[in-house]
Amino acid sequence: PGVIRGSGTIGDKFAWEYQYPVTLKLDGQQSGSPPQRFIFTLRIQQTDVRVKNAGLEVTQVITTNAN
């Protein structure tokens, strides 16, 4: 499950920083990779509802190795 790590105003818009764990395992036809653990951090920010129906958009994604 993810967690909200922070929130506040950036400029004139409210934003949240949301983190959640992700495990990626790549499988090809002849080879694959072992599972890799990452932490994804998303900055979600308010936006104009005339542009995005939900009034929210992801403005930044940061991927960090969790191993």
State pLDDT tens for residues 4-60.
999 999 999 999 999 999 999 999 989 999 999 999 999 999 999 999 999 999 999
| Closest C-alpha to 5, from 41, 47, 39 | 41
Inter-residue contact 48 to 4 (CB < 8 Å): no
- On whether the pTM is more than 0.85, the answer is no
Cβ atoms 37, 67 nearer than 8 A: yes
CA-angle at 66, arms to 37 and 44, nearest 5°: 90
Q: How many residues appear in the chain? A: 67
**Cα distances (angstroms) measured from residue 61 to each of 24, 27, 50:** 16, 24, 23
Domain ranges of the chain: 3-65
